[in-house]
């Protein structure tokens, strides 16, 4: 079992990273958004494990919905999920190799995305370790 982090780092619960690298109170966990009547379809969101791509979406004004830690090949990988009106065009721009950003704001935002992912991985590793300890104690 790997912990699912839907709102970034525990100390940033309920806040999203905005395009300028600051935190804003617009992030709600996905389950809570659905409860509020916000139906998030597959076409409304994009998920990625690429931190550069993630930062590009943030710089383009997209909202970080959550970070999910996943166990892959013995390690922990984080998948970031975004939504935004410009998301499809930003994705096309990024993968066509035409992405342009202001360097210093991008660098600052990338550092914060990296810190959120590090925190999510750390929390997931701790949850995994606790689960393994509980499981090993329960077995004779």
Domain count, the chain: 1
Percent of the chain whose predicted confidence (pLDDT) is above 70: 67
Given a cut of 50, whether residue 101 has pLDDT beyond it is yes
Q: Measuring CA to CA, how many Å separate 92 from each of 46, 56, 57, 97, 99?
A: 12, 12, 11, 9, 9
pLDDT of residue 138: 66
Please state whether 88 falls in left (phi above 0), alpha (psi between -120 and 50) or beta.
Answer: alpha
Q: What is the residue range of 116's domain? A: 4-138
What pLDDT, on a 0 to 100 scale, did the predictor assign at position 43?
57
Residue 111 has pLDDT above 50, yes or no: yes
């Amino acid at each position: 079992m790997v912990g699912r982090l839907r709102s970034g780092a525990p100390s940033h619960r309920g806040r999203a990273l905005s395009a300028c690298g600051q935190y804003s109170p617009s992030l709600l966990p996905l389950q809570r958004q659905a409860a509020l009547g916000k139906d998030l379809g597959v076409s409304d969101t994009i998920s990625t494990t690429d931190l550069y791509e993630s930062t590009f979406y943030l710089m383009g004004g997209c909202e970080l919905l959550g970070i999910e830690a996943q166990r892959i090949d013995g390690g922990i990988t984080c998948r970031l999920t975004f939504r935004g009106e410009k998301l499809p065009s930003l994705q096309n721009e990024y993968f066509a190799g035409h992405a342009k950003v202001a360097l210093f704001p991008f660098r600052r935002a990338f550092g914060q995305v990296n810190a959120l992912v590090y925190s999510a991985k750390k929390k997931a590793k701790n949850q995994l370790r606790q689960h393994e300890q509980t499981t090993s104690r329960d077995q004779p």
